[in-house]
Chains A and B, each alone.
Chain A
């Protein structure tokens, strides 16, 4: 049994937008799962359907074995949702928001209050418990929504961009907090546009684009697909004509001169750094420091999304052509 199992999920909004054209996802129990995709890919729509905020057009959703169509209440009780946009009453107090949310899940007020205290303390909001929600800062509001999502001890926590607009320190403490509750057994699904966040937190990953799943695999497998990495090298002294970068030895490395003190070099996994540095030294080039050009997951992500963009353009053209043909016929 999966924590979440989505099959052939489709959604067409009343505006006519086809937000989902066939999303398939399987999330294991206990997983820390990244759901990635560019803006407008359909992440929030998928999450909306799973959590009961959006009506699906087709497909099936199962949560811990409960089919959404037949066992909606049980399915909903398993899920805690931290939505992308703030969705609490701005004029309610922090503590009330939590206790009421507990009530909607059937938890008696005294018990809900105790749980609220636990989570507000852990998320460093206890001092703010009597403030109105609108008086909180953006980052505090995000944490309030995390506390609210946990009040009924959900088995599956879904966070839609929880770290958007959150400062580095709080983001780190959020990561620690999420890692902790994941270790305690809560399955977590996270969407984010910070790919290093997904890379460091998540075990498995799916990428959706244009309303379709284009990748669903483990983080390890995905990252191992990346067979070339690009590095930026900072040089001790400026490059000049005496340096022969086009030399035969260096040609397997893809070298670009960014400016006289900076080189960009792509290295295939089969190549050795030692070899590269030896050749650079032989050519009289001294390297001061170096860094990855982009995050590894980011490189892969861009590549997959680009590939999919071409594919979906192709599919759309094909669909249109067949449509036209049908009309003609």
Chain B
């Protein structure tokens, strides 16, 4: 394929993925807006007012970055896992498999769809947050960088989940039993400095902690972890998962007998 043809192929996948979740926005964009609004009301306003400051920040302001990032993680992951799995399930993935579109473009296309949903949901949740708290941005570059990288990482993770999935149950197992616990324990609602030593050390093994920490640093300027290390860790995970997803696609795992 020429570069122009590759460009058209990638564009097609991205447009298709984008239209898919926009068309069903009631299932894809509205729920995170409602959930975060509830978090803000319950944790921010009602309970938060009893808690006081963390690291010198109002509790509400402290949890905003984590809640935004949590929405991005769930939605990027969810977008790719359900879109790719249903393409597998309906066999429409064969439309791509018979075409000359190279595997890396298929992967990048699906990731872009997940990132696009992450961005749209991120914007919506941020708008909701602005109603409850004064959003300030410490570093736009860092915030955006971490935001996009996180969305990318979880889109790839969703893709890998979809490749292995053999039923609709399989696409909710990882989100329920791995993703949600890790996100909640990743320091959205607290600083890990508040934990006993043992739990603090254990938390450092949770990759999501690094994302929330650096995103929070980008937004309000305080962090649980060293920013450079955090970013290296996120980039490292992204590269490893990307390579692994490419390997699975090339082998045809789950999509070619």
Contacts and interface: CB of A to CB of B under 8 A. Distances in A.
Interface of A: 13-14, 48, 51-55, 72-74, 76-77, 79, 81, 83, 85-90, 92, 96-97, 99-109, 148
A78 to B, nearest CB: 10
Given A53-B97, A76-B100, A103 B90 contact: no
Interface in B214-257: 252, 256-257
A275 B8 CA distance: 70
A54 B5 contact: no
A74 B1 CA distance: 8
B21 to A, nearest CB: 13
Report which residue of A76, A100, A108 has the largest number of chain B beta carbons within 10 angstroms of its beta carbon.
A100
Contacts of A97: 95
B102 A52 contact: no
Contacts of B13: 103-104
Contacts of A79: 98
Contacts of B252: 55
A87 to B, nearest CB: 4
B99 A105 contact: yes
Nearest to B10: A103
Nearest to B256: A55
A233 B96 CA distance: 54
B118 to A, nearest CB: 23
B98 A53 contact: yes
B97 A52 contact: yes
Contacts of B198: none
A104 B16 CA distance: 11
- Which of A53, A74, A85 is packed against the most chain B CB atoms within 10 Å? A53
Contacts, number: 88
A54 B100 contact: no
B183 to A, nearest CB: 30
B12 interface: yes
A38 B33 CA distance: 56
A100 B100 contact: no
B101 A87 contact: no
28 contacts: A53-B97, A53-B98, A53-B256, A53-B257, A55-B252, A72-B100, A73-B102, A76-B99, A86-B91, A87-B90, A87-B91, A87-B94, A90-B90, A100-B12, A100-B95, A101-B95, A101-B99, A102-B12, A103-B8, A103-B13, A104-B12, A104-B95, A105-B5, A105-B9, A105-B100, A105-B101, A106-B8, A108-B8
B160 to A, nearest CB: 19
B110 to A, nearest CB: 13
Contacts of B131: none
Nearest to B106: A104
B178 to A, nearest CB: 27
Interface string B1-40: 1101110110111001000000000000000000000000
A108 B8 CA distance: 6
B49 interface: no
A52 B94 CA distance: 9
B92 interface: yes
Given A13-B257, A55-B252, A100-B16, A106 B94 contact: no
Given A54-B257, A103-B11, A109-B12, 9 more contacts: A52-B256, A53-B94, A77-B100, A86-B91, A89-B90, A103-B9, A104-B100, A106-B4, A106-B9
A86 to B, nearest CB: 8
A53 B5 CA distance: 21
B98 to A, nearest CB: 5
